[in-house]
Amino acid sequence: MKIAIGADHGGLGLKTALLPLLSAAGHEVVDLGTHTSDSVDYPDYAQAVGRAVLGGEVGRGLLICGTGIGMSIAANKIPGLRAALVSEPHSARLAAVHNDAQVLCLGGRVVGVELALSCVSAWLSAEFEGDRHARRLAKLEPR
C-alpha cells in the first residue's frame, strides 16, 4: 500500500523509526516531513497528508505528533477525512473496520516503536465492513 506519513517535531523520532519498518513490510511510504527536530506546526503536516489521501495520491495516511491529539484534531477538520487517534492495535483495527479511517494518528511520546507498528499493521490489514457502519458515517457528512 502507498502511505503518506507526516509528523511534527514531537513525532519525528517515531516517524523516523517507522519508515524503514513500513518499507520492509512492503509499503511505499511518502514522507511529507518534518525532517528536523526544529519546532513546527502540526496542522501543516495534517493538511499535507490529508490532501494526499483525499487527492488519491496515497491509499492511507499516518500522522504523528507528541500525543497524537493535535494531529487528530487537525486532520478531522479536513472535510471528507476521517482520522483516528489510537494507542493499541484493537482500536486501530476497529478504526478501519467500523470507521473507515483513512488516517491513523499516533503519539510519538505515548507509544513505543513496537506498539506503534502493531497499531499500524492492525489498521492496514483491516477492511471497512460497510453496512450499518456506512449508514453511521453518512450521518457525519455535511447536509
Q: Which residues are catalytic?
A: 65, 98
132 CA to centre of own chain: 23
Q: How many CA atoms lie within 13 A of 46 on its CB side?
A: 25
How far is Cα 21 from Cα 7, in angstroms, rounded to an integer? 16
Q: Which three cell numbers stand for residue 3?
A: 502511505
Q: Residue 127 corresponds to which cell in the numbers above?
A: 477492511
